[in-house]
Amino acid sequence: MISEGQGPSAGRRLSGRIVAATHNVGKLREIQELLGLYRVDAIGAGCLGLNEPEETGFTFSDNAVLKAEAAARAAGEAALADDSGLCVAALGGAPGVHSARWAGEARDFAGAMARIEEELLSAGAPRPWRAHFISALALAWPDGRTDVFEGRVDGELVFPPRGSRGFGYDPIFRPDGHSRTFGEMFAEEKHGLPSDGSLALSHRARAFQKLARRFLQF
């Protein structure tokens, strides 16, 4: 359910419930945590029996739009999709939009993290190994309009992986200005959403801040 004001996007507000166009439980949890701050519920696409469209885009934004619009069309409700990934500077930005694919069908992130280390070592990449996470959030409205917001966080890769919190590549990513990896942080610390409106920490929370300024209210 969405309450929309008059006119184009400026008057739109999200409230009630939204579809989270993801089958990734780690991502769904983070989207629910972020929207929950504004008392908006997110129901996962999997719970609604929606299919996952193939991610054929070349950019994070392309893929986020593709997923959000497919879910909004199928559900007839507003849908929010995140397309995100880890970009390693010395690997030319890989795994990037292929971050999920590097873990394979079995979602073997230990293997994907080991592959990153192996490729960096065999390339003789000098340390520190710089990397960043990107999140593109696409919000597709039932009337066909879609809004996109991007967030990025920079940091260094650490091996061996540290911490068992979070998901995906969290245990090897240490954001700049912090001594702990995302995998060692509690959820609120990883989001790092300050109450004074200054910059959040994670890529997803940074993209979410932009979305919240436009479409959410306390």
Catalytic residues: 83
Q: Determine contact, residues 104/43, Cβ cutoff 8 Å.
A: no
Nearest to ligand IMP of 15, 61 (CB atom):
61
Site string for ligand IMP, 75-104 (x = CB under 6 A): --------xxxx------------xx--x-
Of 15 and 93, the one with the shorter C-beta distance to ligand IMP is 93
**Residue number, 121 or 187, with CB nearest to ligand IMP:** 187
Which residue, 82, 89, 45, is CA-closest to 168?
A: 82
Site string for ligand IMP, 13-52 (x = CB under 6 A): -----------x----------------------------
Which positions from 164 to 183 touch ligand IMP by CB under 6 A, shown as an x/- string?
Answer: --xxxxx-----------x-
Shortest gap between Cβ of 7 and ligand IMP (angstroms)?
A: 32
Stretch that binds ligand IMP, among 41-49, 117-125, 162-170, 193-201 (CB under 6 A): 162-170
CA distances 70 to 22, 48, 49, 140, 144, Å, are 11, 13, 13, 9, 11
Q: Please enumerate, as own/partner, the contacts of 142-147 that have beta carbons within 8 Å and a separation of 24 or more.
A: 142/2, 142/72, 142/76, 142/77, 142/78, 145/8, 145/9, 146/65, 146/68, 146/69, 147/9, 147/211, 147/214, 147/215
From residue 199, give the alpha-carbon distance in Å to each of 151, 203, 208: 10, 10, 11
Residues at the interface with ligand IMP (CB under 6 A): 24, 55, 83-86, 99-100, 103, 133, 166-170, 182, 202, 204
